[in-house]
Amino acid sequence: MSEHIASRKIYYFVFGSLLVLTLLTWRIAYIDLGAWNMVVALFIAIFKAGLVATFFMHLRWSASIMRLVLFAAVFWLAILITLTMGDVLTRHAVTKPQPWQASTTISRTVAVTGQR
Amino acid sequence: MPNSHAIVAEQFDDREQQHEAASLGMWIFLGTEIMFFGGLFAGYTVYRNLYTTAFEAGSHLLNAKIGALNTAVLICSSLTMALAVHAAQTGKRKRLMGFLVSTMVLGGVFLYIKFILEWLHEYRDGLAPGLHFTYSGPQASHVALFFCFYFLMTGVHALHMIVGEGIMTVLLIMAWRGKFSERSHNHIEIAGLYWHFIDIVWIFLFPLLYLLGAHF
């Protein structure tokens, strides 16, 4: 078995879909959907990237190890963004210390400096 | 054998194995590229989350129409690249050269729009942090941060395009000298993978940078 030669019709169809999706994502951006603007835009972008990878980059017809490499890279990127955002989103300003915390702080200060 | 460049290099059993090895090598390189751009995307996500309004205000200053036009130009260049690979697979030398040239021209149009119609314009408007930044609205320093991301991400992307144009030039010379045939065209195919990858990066940059602040 040799490499697969895709029909040019598929390329034209993918090309048309990409242009339509670009137009769609551009027009939707002018409608105020609140936080959903970014969700919709990213969803369309992921779909477009999938079209390019599957057909233009021949993933549909390549050996599955190519898909594995792509999956590994995207998975690692997901770890990077998820763990980073997990940190950033859970950082809260320190609240006013409770009395028992205050006394602990004082006794620690005493222990360190040895002064009252 | 009179042919100086054997179609199958001696370390491979057959053409198919050679073809898979070449594609796999390119895909692994593209995996590292995802990591490379991924750091910028992660940084962007963090600061967009911290300074959402400033990022939207910064994005609002970009021209989304030109961004959409450039996306279309890049998608056209991806199509001509895919057709170039098809021409190489079917051994059509003239068609291959034609499509390589059209891909290069469309890439050139993209870079012209990027540098001359956008960057130069933004520099003159005082939106280039560190060089000429005169924006004085609310949260000006955070808007400057948005423009740092904008220039860095589009700049690194444009650098990849320039490298791609260089690769195309080499391929064009090789095609002109008749180095490719139905049985030997791995160079074209993996260059195509690289070019389509640059297209994918732009597909994400376009909504993140241009469309963020379009709705007000």
Per-residue pLDDT of chain B (216 residues; tens, 9 = 90+): 344 456 888 899 988 899 999 999 999 999 999 999 999 999 999 999 999 999 999 999 999 999 999 999 999 999 999 999 999 999 999 999 999 999 999 999 999 999 999 999 999 999 999 899 999 888 999 999 999 999 999 999 999 999 999 999 999 999 999 999 988 899 999 999 999 999 999 999 999 999 988 876
At A5, the pLDDT band (50, 70, 90 cuts) reads: confident
- Residue B211 distance to chain A (closest CA, Å): 6
Residues with Cβ within 8 Å of residue A69, at least 6 apart in sequence: B24, B27, B28, B30, B31
Cβ–Cβ of A80/B68 closer than 8 Å?
no
CA distances B200 to A45, B16, B60, B103, Å, are 8, 27, 23, 16
Who has greater pLDDT, B173 or A33?
B173
The predicted structure's pLDDT at residue B1: 39
Cβ atoms of residues B96 and B192 within 8 Å? no
For testing the chain A interface, which of B211, B212, B216 should be mutated: the one with the most A CBs within 10 Å? B211
Alpha carbon B77 to its chain's center: 10
User: Which positions 53-82 of A are in contact with B (Cβ < 8 Å)?
Assistant: 53, 55-58, 62-63, 65-66, 69-70, 72-74, 76-77, 80-81
**A60-110: per-residue pLDDT in tens?**
999 999 999 999 999 999 999 999 999 999 887 767 666 665 555 555 555
The sign of the dihedral angle between the CA atoms of A40, A28, B153, A50 is positive
CA distances B170 to A68, A76, B19, Å, are 30, 33, 20
Q: What is the CA radius of gyration of chain B?
A: 21
Give the residue ranges of DSSP H helices in chain A: 8-28, 36-51, 64-89, 99-113
- Mean of pLDDT values over A10-30: 96
Mean pLDDT of chain A: 86
Find, among B203, B215, B9, the residue nearest to A45 by Cα: B203
Residues with Cβ within 8 Å of residue B96, at least 6 apart in sequence: B84, B87, B88, B175, B180, B188
Beta strands in B106-216 (DSSP E): 127-128, 132-133
The predicted structure's pLDDT at residue B4: 43
**A-chain residues near B16 (CB < 8 A):** 1-3
- Residue A5 distance to chain B (closest CA, Å): 7
**B-chain residues near A31 (CB < 8 A):** 215
- Residue B103 distance to chain A (closest CA, Å): 14
Residue in chain A closest to B47 (alpha carbons) equals A88
